[in-house]
Chain A
Amino acid sequence: MDVDLLKKLATIACEAAISGGAEFADVGAWTMRNLAVDIRANAVESCDASRVGSISVRAIYRGGTGWSSTDKMDEESAVEAGKKAASLAKLAEPDPDFISLVAPAESYPEVPGLADPAIETMDIRSIIKYAIENIDSALAVSSEAIVEGGFSAHYDASALVNSLGVSLGKKSSHIGGYTMVVIRRGDDVGSFYDFDSARVLEDFAPDGIGARAAQQALKFLGARKIETQRMPIILGPLAASSVFSSIVRNVDAENVQRGRSFMAGKVGEKIASEIITITDDPLIPRGLASRPWDGEGAPSKPLIVVEDGILKTYLYSSYTAGKAKVATTGHGTRSGNAVPSNIVPKLGNMTSEEIIRSTPRGLYINMGGISPDGTTGDVSSTVDFGFAIENGELAYPVASTMIGGNFLDMLKNIDAISSDYREEPGTIMPTVRIQDVLVAGGG
């Protein structure tokens, strides 16, 4: 279904909500096509083709919200969804904190490379080729490799219309793949994962995903337990991104205003080591999380979230911005919570190798990382993929190891960010070191 048709359906639903008594309404309508290849036991488990769509209406009456959704993409269903949302909005209890939905902007930024027609017309056989090549590249590294994974190509068209005059439409594409390789020697098991992801075909680099996962999986054989003690931890690129994303995800104004966030009252305060600067940048061409407008139709723009360790702002939607009497930062969604875009950390001076070499004893985390509780900031996480560091080198993989502490304490103890990084479109992932973390071991 093309964007104009989706806009038409969304407009019909929006008008139905207003004529049904809603004071404000916005409507999202989308259709998507997805082709996927699933890999299991070194073979293709299944090829899947999906064609689905949906219309969802948010209607607001005295601040109360009514929602209705349908996956029937016709005018009659659009009207019905609009009316249903309006009648629910009138039943909902009023919310005096609601001010307004987003008004249309004079202009919206152009972000190149978010939809690639080559992905829209892609054939399942090209996707299978990626899958088979990566099964084979893993097997070339080790004949013991057991490969699981998936490759997929996604294309969607969407429209966003609201009762204040926002009327937007866009197309979007995504191609990606991953492999998880398992190497089993009796009861000793090593495993690891690798992936690649892109918005345009030209950026997609599927070569070697299987081989790299297999090489890493071999290194995870022979895991040992370590003693409980405080030590520095080094988070590799796939783990350190959890630190940056945990900061940005936990500064959603909705959770702060609702009194359930450990980031409450922290704007203007030092929340992290001064080497931490993070920008949320939705305008990076071809970026995985790039977008010209947010989920409510507010234009996107780059935002410095943390500068030299100081929290500069929360992420706002139309509702939370209205409540705080500030402008939306363009992170709204129609379902309420703020969503970051591309998270870009400032790089440091040491290479990742120098960071490891200058750590005589510690713990290296390859993947996973840190996910604090959003209310308390407490961390109690398992190190699913990690190595003990001895004499500045990755010595052996660890088992039954956990890290604990408070996220804000950990952020203040970050003393190194690498100058080198792994890159996926729009995202850079450096290595990070945190001093003095409590590591619990089973040894």
Chain B
Amino acid sequence: MKDILQSICDKAKQRGASFADARVYESEYTSIMRQDGRADKLSQGTSRGLGIRVLKDHAWGFACVSDFDRDRAFEALDAAISMAEASAIRSEEAVVAEIEGVRDEVHAKVQIDPRSVGVEKKMTRLESYEQAAMKVADDKLSNSVINYSDSVRRETVCNTMGTLITEETIRTFLSTVITVKDGKLLQKSRARVGEPIGFELLEKTSSEEFTVKAAKTALSLLSASPPPAGKFPVVFHPSITGLLTHEAFGHNAEADHVLAGTSIIAGKLGEQIASELVTIIDDSTIPHKWGSYKYDSEGTPGKRRILVEHGVLKAYMHSLETAAKLGVSPNGSARAQDYSSRPIIRMSNTFIAPGESTFEELIHGIDKGIYLKGGEYGYVMCERGQFTCHAGEAFMIRNGEIAEHLRDVSVAGLTLETLMNIDAVANDFEMKMPGFCGKNGQSMYVDNGGPHVRVRELVVGGRA
């Protein structure tokens, strides 16, 4: 296969490409869904395909095929070249950074390869997670869902600068939604764990920190109140800090948005864009983190990228193209979902660095505010810097103390205003939000987190 990729790159050069890369992506997965006392949906599958990118006359073309042989691979090259030639009608003068080609083969290092574990054993473990939740929720349980998946992915990247890399990654993921009821009132809570490791994830994940936690939260929400609406001082749990960092800031620090003129921090390198308590890092090199990798989908090594230091914007996340256009070194941030997608700039593990305050100091001094917990999802209108973060639960803060429990709530704000309004950062830290970030129709592995932080004022989309 590698010889086909090499010949594709050679041929692309002969046909006038200034740059080309060919990526083969192969994957296999197993998933199990356990619901209402039964693991009655089991699934396995494989996928293999080729994506070719060609840069010709400063214009990009891309083509992909599933199920390829040598002939179909070269047909895809023809298609990619004709796509680049078409793009040249009105291209954005694309270029790529010159890099030293890298040759490497990375094998996944896991303790227990999930392929060596029978489906029955996986099902048995899920049953114990479910039984523990059922015991806690008892007659209030309305629905329990537990999803398990493991995957083995191999991405081979070959380019015209001499790069030839194969990276294998094994990932294991667990998620649950527990729904409880009291009369007609329904409430639910979610939990998830995921790491680039094997079946050992299930051996080290207790029911207590997974399904039982979700069941207990769901039960407690039955007696929680709807949140108030309006403007409040807000304290974020690390899971919401992570969402804020990823959504509100992170997407704006992707250099493709910066170059397109759709980032609110374009042209602000070296400027104070956040409170000086804020340092933001995107780091794809942390062992066993969901968003980690050795090489990105362009074959550039992943890095620890300090994006904001004491409130000052220091860097963006780059692909080969954006690095060339902005005159910096690539920092390994371009990833593709699979063979059918082009590499685009993605976050990896994104977080705010811990500060010096204690959690008590954060809530102390707030007369009436909200403590948001249980980060679920968020999104951003990048170009306007308007973000939304959704929390599964919250608490009122009254007279400097945690008070009554509140049901799920969203908060919205303007990125730069909110980053400037962070007036305390705690000395704790948690990054346990393994998930999938969507961008341009591609879904990618990311994690995010940080310490507890306090924002002076934010809009809460309450219902009371």
List residues of chain A with CB under 8 Å of any chain B CB: 37-38, 40-54, 56, 63-74, 84, 88-89, 91-95, 124-125, 128, 131-132, 135, 146, 148, 180, 182, 184, 187, 189-191, 220, 223, 228, 258-262, 264-265, 336, 373, 375-376, 378-382, 384, 399-406, 438-443
Q: In the complex, what residues of A have CB within 8 A of residue B357's CB?
A: none
Cross-chain contact A128 with B229 (CB below 8 angstroms): no
**Interface code B82-101, partner A: CB below 8 Å = 1, 0 otherwise?**
11101101111100000000
> CB < 8 Å: which of A49, A91, A223, A379 contacts B83?
A49
B186 in the interface (beta carbon within 8 A): yes
CA A312 to CA B383, docked complex, whole Å: 42
Q: In the complex, what residues of B have CB within 8 A of residue A67's CB?
A: 41-45
Q: In the complex, what residues of B have CB within 8 A of residue A260's CB?
A: 142-143, 177, 179, 186, 188
Cross-chain contact B459 with A404 (CB below 8 angstroms): no
B64 in the interface (beta carbon within 8 A): yes
Nearest B residue to A71 by beta-carbon distance?
B66
Q: In the complex, what residues of A have CB within 8 A of residue B92's CB?
A: 40-45
Cross-chain contact B120 with A258 (CB below 8 angstroms): no
Cross-chain contact B463 with A380 (CB below 8 angstroms): yes
> CB < 8 Å: which of B40, B46, B231 contacts A228?
B231
Count of chain B residues near A, Cβ 8 A:
86
B2 in the interface (beta carbon within 8 A): no
**Interface code B166-180, partner A: CB below 8 Å = 1, 0 otherwise?**
000000000001010
B420 in the interface (beta carbon within 8 A): no
8 closest A-B pairs by CB: A402-B461, A43-B92, A67-B43, A69-B45, A259-B142, A440-B229, A47-B83, A46-B60
Cross-chain contact B386 with A440 (CB below 8 angstroms): no
> Is chain B's binding surface mostly helix, strand, loop or mixed?
strand
> CB < 8 Å: which of B87, B262, B411, B461 contacts A146?
B262
Q: In the complex, what residues of B have CB within 8 A of residue A336's CB?
A: 41
B259 in the interface (beta carbon within 8 A): yes
> CB < 8 Å: which of B47, B64, B381, B407 contacts A191?
B381
Cross-chain contact A375 with B261 (CB below 8 angstroms): no
CA A375 to CA B144, docked complex, whole Å: 13
Q: In the complex, what residues of B have CB within 8 A of residue A375's CB?
A: 179, 186-188
**Contacts A72-B67, A132-B90, A378-B226 supplied; 15 other A-B pairs, CB < 8 Å:** A40-B256, A52-B64, A53-B67, A67-B43, A124-B83, A146-B262, A182-B383, A260-B188, A378-B407, A379-B463, A381-B461, A384-B388, A400-B386, A401-B459, A438-B462
B340 in the interface (beta carbon within 8 A): yes
Cross-chain contact B86 with A399 (CB below 8 angstroms): no
Nearest A residue to B178 by beta-carbon distance?
A260
Q: In the complex, what residues of B have CB within 8 A of residue A404's CB?
A: 227, 229, 409, 461-463
- Shortest Cβ distance from A418 into chain B, in angstroms? 26
Given A258-B36, A259-B142, A400-B413: A49 and B186 interface contact (C-beta under 8 Å): no
Cross-chain contact A380 with B410 (CB below 8 angstroms): yes
Given A49-B79, A380-B408: A44 and B49 interface contact (C-beta under 8 Å): no
Cross-chain contact A44 with B229 (CB below 8 angstroms): no
Given A50-B340, A375-B188, A440-B230: A380 and B409 interface contact (C-beta under 8 Å): yes
Given A191-B381, A378-B408: A48 and B62 interface contact (C-beta under 8 Å): yes
Q: In the complex, what residues of B have CB within 8 A of residue A182's CB?
A: 261-262, 383
CA A384 to CA B388, docked complex, whole Å: 9
Nearest B residue to A124 by beta-carbon distance?
B86
Cross-chain contact B181 with A259 (CB below 8 angstroms): yes
CA A313 to CA B383, docked complex, whole Å: 42
Cross-chain contact B83 with A46 (CB below 8 angstroms): yes
- Which of A50, A124, A403 has its CB near the most chain B CB atoms (within 10 A)? A50
B333 in the interface (beta carbon within 8 A): no
Cross-chain contact A95 with B38 (CB below 8 angstroms): yes
B65 in the interface (beta carbon within 8 A): yes
B119 in the interface (beta carbon within 8 A): yes
